[in-house]
């Protein structure tokens, strides 16, 4: 699996940003991003000249648009054409999401707990979602140093609640990037996982050899890992089959001999990503496994300053027969700028209903 | 050629509504010009602004964080009216100009367009402007929309 560094929420002067697409692309390339999504408010006109800018900066630019409405902001990416944001009532957002899907795109809740009108018009999510299965992702981290903000904690909790209810929804970060400018605050990255065979060998411009649909598909399937530091990845191995982030471990209720085998958990912390573009103070961090059963594991791991790759392998405990495990994810916790926060988290791996192991 | 000159007033009750304004575009137009202006932009009555913010903090912020929010209410002041414009031609969407400017002077032509709008053929027929009243915080807000055509190289 190759992990591409993505920034999925950006603006230019085609809406209320104060940067051109070229300035945005240059800034993103300097910060080590492989891909960005342009999500201007209610317009896609900012994509003019995209191909040339992609070539100059070796950066993939995914088309998108932020539905900037009266009852919520919804980020949409990967659409082939415009989907109308103006016709959707408060109890009809499902129809809007459907229209995005029809055009090949995916839809996510942008900063769902940011304060709403009149401070930030429509910023708080007030749509009544009838069908949560249609929601592709939730932007659980918004802005710079996102893990410290209360509104992001509420978004993260919403995501966890939905996973507990059995929905398979991805989680992302988005800077909501409006202007170039230095910041001392940590910048978050959403890494999207691309199968090795989808990457053509193309030297430094590897990102450009990946079709944007491949990247959209990765997020659609929840192959995402979010961080303000090292890249954290998770893989399960059951019955000699690997299950990466976003995949589903099948039920083996029909095959008790397989269910008796423990599931192996492979965790990787890669400190070599985006070298020099982030820093984590030297400390002992906590690497956790979390699921609908709660915190299943907590390991002490040292932070690494020499860019090394750390791997951990543990066995998953059997869940109680009356409460099946529905999903599992990994989180890295540590102290950043004086606050103990989530440094990184993976998207979930799911378990087919019926339970594995029983 | 002048196509539309519309003045209107909005009040806080009009927040969260769209106003669709149709107009007809004639044959042989080189450039379509639009000018949207609305005023006032900000709510100057501090007492009233604080009350509006308090209402929204009660709605959007967890109880334990509301006191802190009130103490730091200045970061959300002054409160602003927000009205944005989107444009549709006979075939569909031509873009939106979602920004805070209370005066927007815009155009579309076959080769160029203002940021937010899409350049392309100016097909004669039924077009429309949609004003989206995201938020009106002042007792009244006057708006003025003018639409006219010119030769492509003219202003």
Choose from A20, A23, A45, A124 for mutation: most chain B CBs within 10 A. A45
- Token look-up 């799911």 returns A350
Mutating which of A18, A41, A43 best tests the B interface, going by the most B Cβ atoms within 10 A? Answer: A43
Tell if the CB–CB gap between B93 and A116 is shorter than 8 Å.
no
Find, in chain B, the residue whose alpha carbon is nearest to that of A41: B98
The strand ranges marked E within A121-280 are 137-142, 170-174, 189-194, 224-227, 231-238, 241-244, 248-249, 264-270
Q: pLDDT means per 10 residues in chain A (358 residues)?
A: 97 98 98 98 97 97 98 96 94 97 97 98 98 97 98 98 97 98 96 83 62 95 98 95 96 69 94 95 97 96 89 88 90 97 98 62
Interface of A with B in 98-137 (CB under 8 A): 113, 115-119, 121-122, 124
Whole-number average pLDDT of chain B: 96
- A-interface mutation test, from B110, B114, B135, most A Cβ less than 10 A away: B135
B42 beta partners: B80
**Cβ contact A287:A294 at 8 Å:** no
Cis check: omega of the bond before A118, within 30 degrees of 0: yes
Three-state secondary-structure class, residue A300: strand
pLDDT of residue A175: 98
Q: What is the DSSP letter of A202?
A: -
| Res B97 pLDDT > 80 | yes
Within 13 Å and on the Cβ side, how many CA atoms surround A259?
16
Concatenated DSSP letters for A251-291?
A: P-TT-HHHHTSPPEEEEEEETTTTTTS----S-EEEEEEEE
User: Is the CB of B92 less than 8 angstroms away from the CB of A82?
Assistant: yes
* A45:B116 CB<8 A: yes
Q: Does residue B46 register a pLDDT over 90?
A: yes
Could you tell me the CA-to-CA distances from A145 to A108, A138, A174, A317, B150 in Å, in that order? 20, 17, 11, 34, 49
**What DSSP assignment string belongs to B12-76?**
GGGTTEEEEEEEEE-TT-SEEEEEEEEE--B---HHHHHHHHHHHHHHHS-HHHHHHHHHTGGGG
Residue B24: how many other CB atoms lie within 10 Å: 11
Q: Report CB contact under 8 Å: A82, B93.
A: yes
| Chain A residues whose beta carbon lies within 8 Å of the beta carbon of residue B85 | none
What does the pLDDT read at residue B28? 79
Closest-approach residue (CA) in chain A for B101: A16
CB contact under 8 A, B134 and A43: no
Cis check for the bond before A42: say yes or no (omega within 30 of 0). no
Please state the ipTM of this predicted complex: 0.96
Q: Give the nearest chain A residue to B82 (CA atoms).
A: A121
Which pTM was predicted? 0.95
Q: What pLDDT was estimated at residue A329?
A: 98
Please give the pLDDT value at position A251: 82
Find chain B residues with C-beta within 8 A of A113's C-beta: 60
Exposure letters B56-94 (e unless 16+ CB within 10 A, then b): bbeebbeeeeeeebeeeeeebeebbbbbbbbbbbeeebb
Q: Cβ contact (<8 Å) for A118 and B65?
A: no
- Residue A38 in contact with residue A25, Cβ under 8 Å? no
Strands A309-315 and A241-244: unpaired
CA–CA separation, B82 vs B42, rounded Å? 9
Count the residues in chain B: 155
**Is A86 close to B65, i.e. CB distance below 8 A?**
no
* Selected residues 115-154 of chain B with any CB under 8 Å from a CB in chain A: 115-118, 130, 132, 134-135, 137
B104 in A contact zone (CB under 8 Å):
no
Q: Which residue in the set B52, B86, B137 is minimally distant from A42, CB to CB?
A: B86
């Amino acid at each position: 699996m190759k992990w591409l560094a993505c920034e999925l929420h950006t603006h230019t002067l085609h809406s209320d940003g104060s940067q051109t697409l070229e300035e945005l692309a240059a800034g993103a390339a300097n910060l080590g991003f492989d891909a960005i999504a342009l999500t201007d408010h209610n317009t896609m006109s900012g994509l003019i000249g995209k191909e040339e800018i992609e070539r100059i900066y070796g950066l993939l630019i995914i088309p998108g648009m932020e539905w900037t409405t009266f009852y919520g902001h919804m980020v949409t990416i990967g659409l082939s054409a415009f989907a109308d944001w103006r016709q959707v009532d408060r109890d009809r957002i499902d129809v809007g999401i459907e229209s995005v899907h029809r055009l090949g795109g995916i839809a996510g809740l942008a900063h769902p707990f940011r304060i709403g009108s009149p401070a930030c018009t429509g910023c708080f999510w007030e749509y009544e979602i009838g069908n949560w299965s249609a929601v592709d992702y939730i932007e659980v981290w918004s802005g710079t140093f996102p893990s410290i903000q209360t509104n992001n904690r509420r978004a993260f909790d919403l995501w966890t609640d939905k996973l507990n209810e059995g929905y398979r929804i991805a989680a992302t970060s988005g800077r909501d990037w409006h202007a170039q400018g230095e910041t001392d605050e940590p910048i978050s990255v959403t890494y999207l996982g691309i199968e090795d065979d989808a990457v053509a060998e193309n030297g430094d411009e590897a990102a450009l050899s990946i079709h944007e649909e491949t990247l959209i598909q990765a997020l659609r399937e929840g192959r995402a890992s979010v961080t303000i530091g090292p890249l954290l990845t998770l893989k399960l191995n059951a019955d000699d089959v690997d299950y990466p982030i976003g995949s589903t471990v099948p039920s083996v209720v029909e095959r008790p001999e397989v269910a008796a085998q423990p599931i192996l958990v492979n965790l990787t912390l890669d400190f070599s990503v985006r070298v020099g573009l982030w820093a984590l103070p030297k400390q002992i961090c906590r690497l956790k496994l979390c699921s609908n059963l709660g915190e299943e594991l907590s390991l002490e791991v040292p932070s690494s300053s020499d860019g090394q790759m750390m791997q951990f392998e543990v066995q998953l405990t059997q869940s109680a027969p009356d409460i099946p495990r529905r999903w599992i994810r990994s989180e890295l916790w540590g102290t950043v700028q004086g606050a103990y926060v989530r440094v990184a988290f993976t998207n979930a791996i799911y378990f087919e209903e019926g339970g594995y192991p029983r | 050629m002048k196509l539309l000159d519309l003045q209107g007033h909005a009040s806080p009750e009009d927040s969260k509504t769209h106003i669709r304004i149709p107009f007809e575009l004639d044959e042989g137009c080189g450039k379509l010009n639009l000018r949207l202006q609305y005023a006032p932009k900000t709510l100057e009555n501090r007492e009233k602004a604080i009350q509006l913010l308090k209402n929204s903090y009660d709605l959007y912020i967890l109880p334990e964080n509301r006191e802190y929010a009130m103490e730091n209410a200045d970061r959300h002041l002054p409160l602003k009216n927000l009205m944005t414009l989107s444009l549709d031609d006979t075939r569909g969407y031509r873009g939106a100009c979602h920004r805070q400017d209370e005066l927007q002077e815009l155009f579309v032509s076959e080769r160029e367009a203002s940021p937010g709008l899409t350049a392309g053929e100016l097909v004669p027929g039924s077009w429309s402007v949609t004003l989206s009243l995201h938020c009106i915080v002042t007792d009244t807000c006057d708006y003025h929309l003018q639409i006219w055509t010119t030769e492509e190289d003219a202003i």
